[in-house]
Structure 1
Amino acid sequence: MSDLPQIIRQQQSAYQERGWRLPIWLAGSEAYTQQQLSALKPEGISYWLGQQAPAGFTLLSAKQKQQWLGTECDLLVVDAHHAGDWDLVAASSGCLKAGGLWLFVTNEPDLWRQLPNPAAKRVLPYPLDATAYTGLFKQFWLEHLSEQRWVKLIENNSAVMPLLPEAIAQVQAELPYRTAEQQQAVTAIHKVVTGHRRRPLVLTAHRGRGKSSALGLAAAQLAQQGKTDILLTGPSPVAVQTAFFIAADLLSQSYQPGQNQLLNGTIRFVPVDVLLAEKQQNTVILVDEAAAIPTPQLQQLTDLYSRLVFATTEHGYEGTGRGFQLRFQSYLQQHCPGFQKLHLHQPIRYQANDPLEQLVFKGFLLEQTHSVITAPLQPKAFSYTIKDLLLQPQKLQQIFSLLSLAHYQTDVMDLWALLDNPALKLYTLEQDQQVIACALISFEGELDAELTVEVSHGKRRVQGHLLAQSLAFHCLQPQLAEQKMARIQRIVVHPSVQTQGLGSQLLSFVLQDLLGQQYLIGTSFGATLALVKFWQKAGFSPVKLSHQNEQASNEASVLMLYGEQFRALQQQFSRQLYWQLADKQRSLDPALALLWAQPPSIELTAQQNTELQLFQTGLRPYELIETHLQCWFNLFYAKVDYQTALLLVQRLWQKHEWQQISEPAAKQKLPELCKLLHL
């Protein structure tokens, strides 16, 4: 029988010659796997993902994920005997460098797939117990990876050695570049700075291709050439740390995590909202992880600044999805037709066609499928449980690819939840066996009466019941949380066939099926005017709005319910919203405020009418009639010209200062606007 050290000796040199990582699946009893691992001598930097790390290993934890994501190691052991955090498994694989060893350790396969996964508490809804419930992800993982190129060392079985394809020859790069593609990317960044204005660069790549390093190299070189205002930005300071590390190294400067500038501010981090609020002059702006920034903010950056680089992970561990390419790049095509696009293919820590990367991409469905949809569109509707999809792996790949393609935030956790959470269901529209639209539904509610009261009083929170808990606590309707509920988590349409009514068609099918089963139906999403109109047209009404914007979408999250029976809740929401609009922490789109808010109707007195008429003729200052104007607007806002109404919402309802309002000369135009008083 082969042992682990012997297999490593036999196999690792061939992988090292090709610049690949060696993946090994070690399976068996704990006594067997510990015996095999005890003969393993950690060399170099060794990481351990599991419950407890032996001597010589660094334990990787979820809390420190951002710190170790950008690091490198020579050996990585994933101990999945007792628990498997699939999000960390996928993310940590990117740390292993060429020639390194990846060990995936489990019980014997048939036993392992039947054991519960305590780490699944991250994705399971109440009252399911992760220590007792067995989901389907392990079954999917084993079946999906049965043909992958990894060494299998299983107790009481002969070791399986894969046949390796020929290595792909790579073009060597000169220092400081890791690949020729990275050098090309840096050259393209320089061209943005020195070439024609308004020619942004979009730099995309899978994780580990050196795009963040390219930003850092370019920033350092520009500083060396005398450029004094180089701004790095992203969804958070952590997103640009790699660029700072690389720039500091090239400039021979010290850098500590959290430090936001180099060379006395020549290179510095500036948050996106600051860039939008305070126009910087003569700057080059390097945006990392751009897909995690809301599209409206990216559009505003494009309008304000003329020398921009947008870099982003195309898809993968960070969960940014590929929607960025389709939504934002279509905007660039319209407003910056000369923009450039560059995609990096070559990994920097290992060579192309790496077996571990292929294993991770296939095991977590990170490879995108590109479908061609034929006309005319005559789709059929279907519904699937997760058990259905395990028998149709190609359909599961299509659905997950569509979720990743059309939504800005789809990642490994979503696949994990999809396969382990039995409270999820999928509906699709399909043409020629190709999924062109899908809806993801979460079944919630049916909480017992005692629990719903505790939730309504803020004493308890339970996972997986967003709709029920929001209604019980925020809307003080605990009795509704006792009903069975269906929350529409996502509804996506393939970008190539959007705006053709397919979303409404799919939603109609979903509603018909769920209403037939007596479900209370709701949805929650980042509120934009277009999305809100889509849901309101389908019969949904808002009942709750988050106090602050979501970090991912930069929009307030709205909860909407289907059906006329919630009209009283909707009216209560609208009345409350009016009084909340002046809160400086709430930055609601004035179009949504105009659509939703219900102001009090108080008739104007004769005195107020007289003062407004004096203001109209220039005989009364604005400051003395503002409250009268608000009373008038509250009465007649529905009859006011739309653009004027938006302006008055910002000033009178949201209490924005004049300089905050989109129309700079609004105050000077007020007497002209007050001709409306004759309504």
Structure 2
Amino acid sequence: MIQQQANTSLIPDLIKRLQQQQQHAGHRQFIVLSGQQQWGMEHALELLQQQHLWLGEAPAHPKILHKDLLNKAKHWLGRERQQVIINAFSQFSADGIAAISGIIPAGGQLILVCPEFTHWPEYDDPNYRQLLSYQQPRPHKSLFLTRLIRHFQPTKGICLWQQQQGLSYVDNPVVVSTVHLAQGIDDSSSSTDACLSANPQQQDAIHRIIKCATGRARRPLVITADRGRGKSASLGLACATLIEQHQQQILVCAPNRHATQSVLRFAGKGLGQDARHYPVTGPFGQLDFIAPDHLLRARPCADVIMVDEAAAIPMPMLKAICHHYPRVVFASTQHGYEGSGRGFSLKFMQYLQQDFKHYKHLHLNEPIRWRSHDPLEDWTFANFILNAHAQSVNLPITAKQWRYQVISKEALMANEALLNQAFALLVNAHYQTKPSDLRALLDNARISVHLVFHQQDLLAISLLMDEPPLPQPLSQAIHQGTRRVQGHLTAQALSLHAGQAEAVGYHYGRVMRIAVHPESQSHGVGTFLLDKLFSWSQQQGFDFLCTSFGFTPDLASFWQRSQFQLNHLGLSKDVASGCYSVIAMRPCKQQVQAFTTGLSSQLQQQLQDYLTGPLQDLEADVANALIAWLKASVSSNKHPVGAYRDAVLHYCLSHRPVEFALPAIRQWLWQLPQWPCLLPSQSDLLIQRCLQQHTWQQVVAANQLSGKKAAETQLKLILQQVLQDQFAPPELPTSQ
């Protein structure tokens, strides 16, 4: 039952008593101070505890010992603070709040100082600078904050202290005994004894990791967990046991080295070491870090591979790791402040069920630093929609009953169930979907929301970013690389990196996200949605419908089917996806078709140099998909110069060393009207030796051939097949 206390002098003691109740229950307390900034900061000072952290503007007071900016919240991860005060007048960052709440243990307190609820949605939040595009006016009223305020309700552990109304709270005076937290280890554990006291779930995880590493091969283990469940600590302690008691060479793999710091630290503690850098060495083995692309390229020997934050690694890489190494442990966070691994769980475990029937899955759900049903965690999950699940759809779905809708932000916010379903699809499909994306979806007017329904079931969603032309004075600075502006990804990449100054004068509609319900995939729903987006973009007067994504052959096939042309390729891998980013466009007007064709033609010329330079180690199947898409984007009726064809034919029929024939072979391949239809193994060998100029030794190792002679025989057979398919020359011998 909600109670009120209007006497300001009694409120601090009442809050302390309520906090003690939460501590006895193993939970945390959430206090919202809503009013004028000065009032809120003064009362936050009254509640200040010794182990605190103040984020945002703070009063000059000697009691405030630890303060920082909310956008620096991630710097505090791995530490612990009994109390965190956030001044939302400085900035309200959904990502920052979701991240920083994890450093507060049971019995701790989060205090949010914010404007009066009636005025907060109209407040000029500095966070808009990260959310909105260049010169885009801020919304008159924040729908994200309006929804947030609507969900601020006093419950056990959540108190609302409003300047005009006093404290609203729920008392829970009947506490029989103090609840003891299940012992466990996580990032905040400090003493060695505490660190090594794993809870039952973690003990089970450690046991299963060791069994996977030392037991029968081809039985991968998948560990999933919400944040704060001690997943990485379990990996680290299992590694310590393996290299201390078994002859194990272990490689830990993750999107970046920083993501494995917890594994490193706990592996060291398990061995009684203060491990700060790789490798970690034990009596019988060693633990070292390796990036996923280097792992697949070099394929070093290892007894077991530990893949942490696996949801952030592209699915093709995960599959390749699984197939090459007999013992692999995959671990990933399901609900996090940096993204979600739920889509990984759905897609990757479906694959494992088909190809590795004896795989094992373990989910850690017992929190380490607080009890289950903690009010602060529940509030964070519910308000930032971190735990929404896509509801099942009624099958079969018939295309005649699909309904396309462009929904307004107001209508979406008013329908909480639909908002949860829409965001759940985004979370499932895109690992990088974060709490801040929910605010951008509701508050950025340049993002339009497009939905596909089957009857009442939501099948798909797409977010489209309006990127209008940029003013002329800015165009030259962008083209020269002296300015960058937010919200204009396409124009800036094409102007600076592709060298096309005119790119900033076009109007783009960029597909930021597209997600199809897992049960509706492979039915053409995504292609249907893209066709509707194209028609809508034409109605809006856009010049191009475009997209930017981490390139994989499967994704390339999806966009190519919808008549998108490949126009730009980045030369460094995206940190999150581990793939090279590309831009693909579909012209909305006939008069701009020449611009996209010109970009594709330019990229095709550049790719010839890239494959022998910065992309020399590009996976052959990726190179194959790039070349095939480019040749489809740049249709040509030209046939290769006869001299090049004759040189290829001569190489196939003679003992001429390939080094002398390679220049002609490369020119001939690039001039083919379409990329040849070959087996994957044939394409790999052809691209590696002829276009990327790998040595015979590299080709033999990559394709698991017996030696140079076998590799060259295969190459000549492939070239003969292409010659026959393309030009039907006189009969060629089938072997040398």
1:304-323 CA-to-partner distances (Å, cap 9, x unmatched) read: 21221111101221203311
Partner of 1:592: 625
| CA-CA distance at 1:327 after TM superposition | 2.2
1:494-513 CA-to-partner distances (Å, cap 9, x unmatched) read: 11110000111111222212
| CA-CA distance at 1:672 after TM superposition | 3.5
* Residues 339-354 of structure 1 aligned to structure 2 (within 5 Å): 339-354=359-374
- 2:687 is matched by which residue type in structure 1? V
Cα-Cα RMSD? 2.8
Partner of 1:250: 270
| CA-CA distance at 1:618 after TM superposition | 3.9
Change (3 A) 1:370 1:531: closer
Which stretch shows the higher mean deviation, 14-23 or 142-151? 142-151
| CA-CA distance at 1:604 after TM superposition | 4.1
- 2:295 is matched by which residue type in structure 1? L
Partner of 1:232: 252
Partner of 2:687: 649
1:515 to 527, 538, 547: 538
Partner of 2:605: 575
SS at match of 1:161: strand
Tell whether 2:433 aligns with 1:397.
Answer: no
SS at match of 2:527: helix
1:324-371 CA-to-partner distances (Å, cap 9, x unmatched) read: 112222222222110100111111010001000011111111112241
SS at match of 1:312: strand
Partner of 1:222: 242
1:629 and 1:611 map into 2 onto residues whose CA distance is: 7
1:517-557 CA-to-partner distances (Å, cap 9, x unmatched) read: 21122111112222222222222112111122222222221
Asked if 1 retains the 8 angstrom alpha-carbon contact of 2:685 and 2:715, the reply is no
Partner of 1:628: 664
Partner of 1:20: 27
Which stretch shows the higher mean deviation, 57-66 or 144-153? 57-66
1:243 and 1:641 map into 2 onto residues whose CA distance is: 45
* Residues 595-610 of structure 1 aligned to structure 2 (within 5 Å): 595=628, 596=630, 603-605=641-643
Partner of 1:409: 432
1:20-52 CA-to-partner distances (Å, cap 9, x unmatched) read: 001111122233223312323422x31122134
SS at match of 2:161: strand
Asked if 2 retains the 8 angstrom alpha-carbon contact of 1:25 and 1:152, the reply is yes
SS at match of 2:603: helix
SS at match of 1:311: strand
SS at match of 1:375: coil
1:238-276 CA-to-partner distances (Å, cap 9, x unmatched) read: 1111122223223221233x4542448723323223332
2:247 and 2:683 map into 1 onto residues whose CA distance is: 45
Which stretch shows the higher mean deviation, 47-56 or 368-377? 47-56
1:224 and 1:523 map into 2 onto residues whose CA distance is: 49
Report the TM-score, using the length of structure 1 for normalisation: 0.92
SS at match of 1:441: strand
Partner of 2:732: none
Which stretch shows the higher mean deviation, 486-495 or 330-339? 330-339
Partner of 1:443: 466
* Residues 256-405 of structure 1 aligned to structure 2 (within 5 Å): 256=276, 258-263=277-282, 266-281=286-301, 283-377=303-397, 378-405=401-428
Which stretch shows the higher mean deviation, 343-352 or 311-320? 311-320
| CA-CA distance at 1:170 after TM superposition | 7.9
Tell whether 2:673 aligns with 1:666.
Answer: no
1:388-412 CA-to-partner distances (Å, cap 9, x unmatched) read: 2122222111111110012222111
2:381 and 2:516 map into 1 onto residues whose CA distance is: 23
| CA-CA distance at 1:133 after TM superposition | 6.4
1:639 and 1:213 map into 2 onto residues whose CA distance is: 48
Percent identical pairs in the alignment equals 31
Change (3 A) 1:82 1:321: same
Asked if 2 retains the 8 angstrom alpha-carbon contact of 1:182 and 1:214, the reply is yes
Which stretch shows the higher mean deviation, 34-43 or 10-19? 34-43
| CA-CA distance at 1:126 after TM superposition | 0.7
1:369-424 CA-to-partner distances (Å, cap 9, x unmatched) read: 24121123133111123222122222111111110012222111211221221110
Partner of 2:528: 505
1:612 and 1:370 map into 2 onto residues whose CA distance is: 54
- 1:261 is matched by which residue type in structure 2? V
Which stretch shows the higher mean deviation, 352-361 or 133-142? 133-142
Asked if 1 retains the 8 angstrom alpha-carbon contact of 2:18 and 2:171, the reply is no
Question: What 5-or-longer segments of structure 2 have no aligned partner?
Answer: 1-6, 185-193, 730-736
Tell whether 2:79 aligns with 1:59.
Answer: no
1:107 to 115, 129, 135: 115
1:37 and 1:575 map into 2 onto residues whose CA distance is: 62
- 1:655 is matched by which residue type in structure 2? Q
SS at match of 1:337: coil
Change (3 A) 1:217 1:673: closer
Tell whether 2:217 aligns with 1:197.
Answer: yes
Change (3 A) 1:645 1:89: closer
Asked if 1 retains the 8 angstrom alpha-carbon contact of 2:32 and 2:111, the reply is yes
1:177 to 197, 204, 209: 197
2:109 and 2:650 map into 1 onto residues whose CA distance is: 82
2:664 and 2:90 map into 1 onto residues whose CA distance is: 68
Partner of 1:126: 134
Which stretch shows the higher mean deviation, 520-529 or 645-654? 645-654
1:639 and 1:467 map into 2 onto residues whose CA distance is: 27
1:476-517 CA-to-partner distances (Å, cap 9, x unmatched) read: 444453343211111110111100001111112222122122
- 1:670 is matched by which residue type in structure 2? L
Change (3 A) 1:80 1:123: same
2:645 and 2:328 map into 1 onto residues whose CA distance is: 52
Asked if 1 retains the 8 angstrom alpha-carbon contact of 2:255 and 2:578, the reply is no
| CA-CA distance at 1:292 after TM superposition | 1.0
Report the TM-score, using the length of structure 2 for normalisation: 0.85
Change (3 A) 1:612 1:489: closer
1:260 and 1:134 map into 2 onto residues whose CA distance is: 52
| CA-CA distance at 1:99 after TM superposition | 0.5
1:633-662 CA-to-partner distances (Å, cap 9, x unmatched) read: 344474855234553233222223334445
Asked if 1 retains the 8 angstrom alpha-carbon contact of 2:21 and 2:175, the reply is no
Change (3 A) 1:375 1:609: closer
2:217 and 2:298 map into 1 onto residues whose CA distance is: 20
SS at match of 1:358: helix
Which stretch shows the higher mean deviation, 212-221 or 435-444? 212-221
1:561 to 585, 589, 594: 585
SS at match of 1:388: helix
- 2:56 is matched by which residue type in structure 1? G
2:574 to 534, 547, 550: 550
| CA-CA distance at 1:463 after TM superposition | 0.2
2:71 and 2:233 map into 1 onto residues whose CA distance is: 24
* Count of residues paired in the alignment: 674
SS at match of 1:642: coil
| CA-CA distance at 1:169 after TM superposition | 7.4
1:200-249 CA-to-partner distances (Å, cap 9, x unmatched) read: 11110110011111112212222332344233221112111112222322
- 1:268 is matched by which residue type in structure 2? D
1:408 and 1:291 map into 2 onto residues whose CA distance is: 6
SS at match of 2:108: strand
Change (3 A) 1:306 1:65: farther
